[in-house]
Each structure stands twice: as C-alpha cells, then as structure tokens.
Structure 1
Amino acid sequence: MDAGTAAAAAPPPTTTALSNSAPAKQQQQQKPLQISFPLPRAPNARVNLHLTVHSKSLLLFVTTTSPEHDSGVTAPVGSFVYAMPNLANPTAQPLSTPLYPQTPTLDLATRLAKILARRTGRPTYVGNSTSFASAGAGGNVEEEMEGLARVVEVVVEEVKKADQAAAAAGV
C-alpha cells in the first residue's frame, strides 16, 4: 500500500476542543484541540495529539496508545523540541534545539518540529512520547514515517482551519 492509498483510506481524526478557563488576555487565547486517529497499519493503536495553534506559534504533544500495551501503564515523558523556520531563507532547514531530550523519542520529535515549522512558518514546540512498537511490523522505519506523515497532515489541516477562522473573525 503506497502513502497516497494509506492517506486516502485513513479514517478522519477525532477532534475535541478543550475549554480554557483562564481569563481572556489581550491576544486571543486559542483553545487546545485533542485529536486522535489510528496508526496507518495498526487500527487498534492510536496517535493522540494535543494541539494549540497560536497566531505566532504551535504547541503540539504527541503520544500513542494501544489496548494491549497500555493497560494500566503510564507512558514515559518523551522529548520536547523547539524549532523555528529560517525566515531569511524559507527553503533552508529550520533551526531546532532539544529542550528536554530523551534518546528514544528525540529523532522523531526533532523531525516533526522541523517539518511543522517549515510548513506552517511558525515557531513550533513539540513534545513526543510516541512508541510504534504496537504497529503491525513492530515499529519499523516505514511505519514511523507513515505515522509522522499522518501527524503532519492532520496538524497542517488544523492550522489552516485556525488561520481561516482567525481571518474570518478579523484577528
């Protein structure tokens, strides 16, 4: 199955907006979104996103869950990475720095932060505690890349929706 077929066959992600009880600030406060969707090759395993789209930045936390691996087990804290687009040369690689590095999740967090910074043109904070061990082939490179591509697709779509809503509201 190629990436185009996998993306077309993927079910739509589940999205929930969380209310923010903090007092309103001068700048419009964005509500975090909880988004969940199945891994491309393992429908019983899910990718869970907690996304906050600010006008000038993104904050994303990514984790995976599966019934057979997560029964009563807390997920370890993963890496937290900051990436910013290169505004002087938009085609250049975004700059990134790990703020909280954890070796098993650092590479994917860095890739995700850089891709999102480039695609959205915003500084991006990414927390990543994903594990693809419950995927069909045990989390090989292809499965990780399919999961990464799906996360990027969903996040970029949500950023576009937030930008359109802000433009319609005149923010």
Structure 2
Amino acid sequence: MADTAIQETQRVSPDLKPKELSFPLPKALHTTGHVHLTFLGHCATIFLATSTPGDSAGSIKPLGSFVYAMPDRTSPKSTISTTIYTSPSSIEYTTRVAKILARRIGMPVYVGCSIDPNALGLEVEEEMEGLRQIVNLVVEKYEAQK
C-alpha cells in the first residue's frame, strides 16, 4: 500500500471570515440593527437589516437595494456608485451608506440594505444618528482587521 500524506493547508489572504453584528439602533425604540460584513483584499461586502420584537421568525422580508460604490481616484472627496438592484423604500439609504463607506475605508464596497427609515418612523436627526453608528461600526471593524 502506498503511503498517503495528508497535506496541511494554510489560509491565504483574503481570509473569508464574515462578521455578524447586532446592536440597538439609537432613537429607534426596540429596533435592532444587523450588519453582516465580509472584508476581502480588494473590496468589502456589507448587508444591513433591522428587526423589532414583533417580527416573526418565519416572515419573509424584502431584500432591499444593492449598490456598488468605489472611491473616485481623481477626487478623494467624492465617490462613484451604481445601483445593482433597486427597492424604492431603501435605495436612498443604501446609496448613502455605500458612498460614505467607500470614501471612509478607501476601497470598493457592495452594500445590500433593507432598512427603510420612513417605515421606522424616524426623524431626520434620528436617522442620521443610526447611519453614523452603522458607518462607525463598519469602519472600526475594517481598521481592526487590517
């Protein structure tokens, strides 16, 4: 019989270890924000959603919008984005998050988002506070894994 050598494999970059985070959204009573992050060597994929205590586990929620954004190499303060899939209730929020994240982390991002700030009944200031928390959390996790 031939000896069979088992080769040990090593992980190489990018290391596909998605991070799943949940946190209470500020100013949105009893609403939990959910973030699913995957950082690759050349881009990041982020999915955003919310849940409330009344949501049933078997209910189907809309997927929301999906946007690709990347930093503009000719102008560091601007970003370029394109919509891959549109859901009218979440397209503005998704595009805003994608552009901010592309500029802040300096690489292309894919953002899927089913968050509808209007359905949550948030004021503009409350919506911006939630957006700020999501962006800061993603940037913090990106910096930690670099």
Normalising to structure 1: TM-score of the pair?
A: 0.73
State the match for 1:58 in structure 2.
44
The number of residue pairs the alignment matches comes to 137
3-state secondary structure, aligned to 2:110: strand
- Which protein has the larger Cα radius of gyration, Structure 1 or Structure 2? 2
Question: Taking every aligned residue pair, what percent have the same amino acid on both sides?
Answer: 42
Q: CA deviation at 1:143?
A: 1.9
Query: Deviations along 1:29-50, whole A, 9 cap, x unmatched?
Result: 3310001100101352100000
8 Å contact 1:66–1:134 — kept in the other structure? no
CA distance in 2, matches of 1:162, 1:126: 19
CA distance in 2, matches of 1:54, 1:42: 31
Query: Deviations along 1:70-90, whole A, 9 cap, x unmatched?
Result: 124321110000000011221
State the match for 2:85 in structure 1.
100
State the match for 1:153 in structure 2.
136
Change (3 A) 1:103 1:134: closer
CA distance in 2, matches of 1:105, 1:98: 12
8 Å contact 2:46–2:111 — kept in the other structure? yes
Normalising to structure 2: TM-score of the pair?
A: 0.85
Structure 2 residue aligned with 1:78, among 47, 54, 64? 64
CA distance in 1, matches of 2:105, 2:118: 29
Structure with larger RCO (C-alpha < 8 A, sep 6+): 2
Q: CA deviation at 1:104?
A: 0.6
Q: How do 1:1-171 residues align onto structure 2 when only pairs under 5 Å count? A: 27-68=13-54, 70-71=55-56, 72-91=58-77, 93-132=78-117, 135=120, 138-163=121-146
CA distance in 1, matches of 2:133, 2:46: 14
Mark the runs of 5 or more structure 2 residues left unpaired by the alignment: 1-8
Query: Deviations along 1:125-155, whole A, 9 cap, x unmatched?
Result: 00000134675xx222222211111100000
8 Å contact 2:93–2:116 — kept in the other structure? no
Letter in 2 for 1:73: S
Letter in 2 for 1:30: L
